[in-house]
A and B are shown apart, each in its own frame.
Chain A
Amino acid sequence: MKRSAPLVIVGAGPAGLAAAKTALDHGLPAVLLDEQPAAGGQIYRGVGEAGEGRRKVLGADYAKGADLLRVLADKGLDYRPGAEVWEMTREREIFFTRQGAVERLAADQLILCTGAIERPMPFPGWTLPGVMTCGAAQILLKTAGVYPRQDIVLAGSGPLLLLLATQLLATGAKIAALVETTPSENYKAALPYLPAALQAPDYIFKGLGFIRDLKRAGVPWHKSARELEALGDNAVLGLRFRDAAGIREVACGALLLHQGVVPNVQISRSLRLEHLWDPLQRCWRPKLDDWGLSEIPGVAVAGDGGGIVGAKASEAQGGLAALGALRRLGELDTAARDAKARSLQKDFRREVAPRRFLDALYRPSGAFLRPSDETIACRCEEVTAGRIREFVALGCLGPNQAKAFGRSGMGPCQGRVCGLLVSEIMADARGVSPDEVGYYRIRPPIKPVTLGEMASMAED
């Protein structure tokens, strides 16, 4: 097995696949690693294997993702599915587990395309079995053809909430209620960004199409919902919330949550890259130049992992990051790189035109950023938001100290789920910006590695 490569790409979603294609189009071989058994990333999960039925339910945008997979047939591509990357060094050495054995690779150029994760949506009862994210429900549908068939409540805010609702309707599933938490003031706040968003009108038309389909199907739709509480002891039995008409309860067996997506910064944080706080998207992203290059020479980030831009813009960024790598490897001169970049830059600008409108419209309500005292914030260690506020009162200044105060962020998920919550809660309690309290320090291994797997590395 080769131990070094001129270009290694981590993540086979739109960004990683586009980066691979650009590299190969210029004769540069690439290694592409992804922990999933199949390529496509989150948006196009399982598209290569999905039969007619799944594609029909998931819609034309999903099916089109198959085009991106063509690059996998290219002889110059060394694609390794099922490769869980658990450590990366600033010297661009990559460690990953594949089929129970550890492999390592040194890269001249590295492009991180590890995408987004869903923003946590905490409220009392969000830890009950049967409560999962809308993305989780989509992954079930995309990879296994499995879907909840009845007694479904979808709660939260954002395009994915509406998209999943229409996909579930297409399966014939019965949706008991759509509980939208978008704060009413967001509509006014988003309005100034509407003209810019109309530069890429298809996003707006698609959204209007979802709304029309859901209304036509007669899905009960509650707006500006707040004070959410999931009911049940051993599994979810219902959702209680307040809307303009007062307190309501809807029975359900599947409660699907969504509150937008945020960059997956696990690797970029473990590399100790500088991260910038985005006050509109309420998350951090690594600091990058126009080619996605970070402050570490040869380490670039493309796609949603570098800041939420959406799938099409991620694709453009993947191409741009590959052009940057080609330039740094001496395969392209500056003029050639810039000439080839022009159409990608144009695509990128068009695709991000609606971003500010969407960010303002679907900005999470404060109740989900800084949940009530009784709500569990750190799911692994069962630490409530109230406990974290107590730590602050005792003089705890930031998330890393909070680990010592009460183990938040020290469970198996390594703070992936609670990281932003703990920063927001502590910042709010201290009356400062999340940027000031900072984020958990992420240390490798960022994925579980067993001693047996480690031993396999010593043997090879």
Chain B
Amino acid sequence: MPSGSIFARLPEPDRRPVTLFFEGEPVGALQGDSVAAALLAAGKLTFRATPVGGAPRGPYCMMGVCFECLLEIDGVANRQGCMVQAADGMRVSRMLGARGLADSNGPAR
């Protein structure tokens, strides 16, 4: 468990380790984690900055409701980190400010 995380894991030795890259830095996770769960477990609480005020935000609901967990995943912007399964080699980065919603790969509305 990386130091600095307030989150811990139950011992589950049967789960396969996977490594994803968050802002270029390797993050160890386990098969079955959502991307959001993997990042939280590694102590990464901030996923995005708001387009209007630039305020830091992170997962609030973990069930696809709040859209606070928006990330860029493998080049696709505005994906819900709590709804995507972590996979080996995945490249993940924060959605910062206006770029996020202006670039709209998001809700087609």
CB–CB B50/A448 < 8 A: no
> Would you give the 0/1 interface string for B42-79, flagging 1 where the beta carbon is closer than 8 Å to chain A?
00011100101101111111111111101000001010
B16 is an interface residue with CB less than 8 A from chain A: no
B: interface residue count bin: 35 or more
Q: Which residues of the partner chain B approach A152 to less than 8 Å between Cβ atoms?
A: 6
Q: Which residues of the partner chain A approach B14 to less than 8 Å between Cβ atoms?
A: 51
CB–CB B10/A147 < 8 A: yes
A90 is an interface residue with CB less than 8 A from chain B: no
**In the complex, what distance in Å separates the CA atom of A454 from the CA atom of B70?**
21
Checking A53, A140, A171, A414 against B40 with a beta-carbon cut-off of 8 angstroms, the contacting residue is A140
CB–CB B55/A450 < 8 A: no
Q: What is the size, in residues, of chain A's interface with B at 8 Å between Cβ atoms?
A: 59
A264 to chain B minimum Cβ distance, whole angstroms, is 8
Known contacts A135-B62, A235-B45, A412-B101; is-contact A171 B109 (Cβ 8 Å): no
Q: Which residues of the partner chain B approach A135 to less than 8 Å between Cβ atoms?
A: 61-63
CB–CB B6/A380 < 8 A: no
CB–CB B32/A49 < 8 A: yes
Nearest 6 pairs of A and B residues by beta carbon: A129-B58, A136-B62, A144-B37, A129-B45, A149-B8, A412-B67
Could you list 5 examples of A-B contacts with CB < 8 Å? A127-B57, A132-B61, A145-B9, A146-B7, A382-B53
Q: Which residues on A are within 8 Å of B, measured CB to CB?
A: 35, 37, 42, 49, 51, 53-54, 57, 84, 117-118, 127-133, 135-137, 139-141, 143-152, 171, 173, 234-235, 253-254, 264, 379-382, 411-414, 416-417, 443, 445, 447-451, 454
19 more contacts with CB within 8 A, not counting A132-B62, A146-B33, A382-B50, are: A37-B85, A127-B57, A136-B60, A136-B62, A140-B7, A143-B32, A143-B33, A144-B37, A145-B15, A146-B37, A147-B9, A148-B8, A151-B6, A379-B60, A413-B67, A417-B60, A445-B107, A450-B105, A451-B108
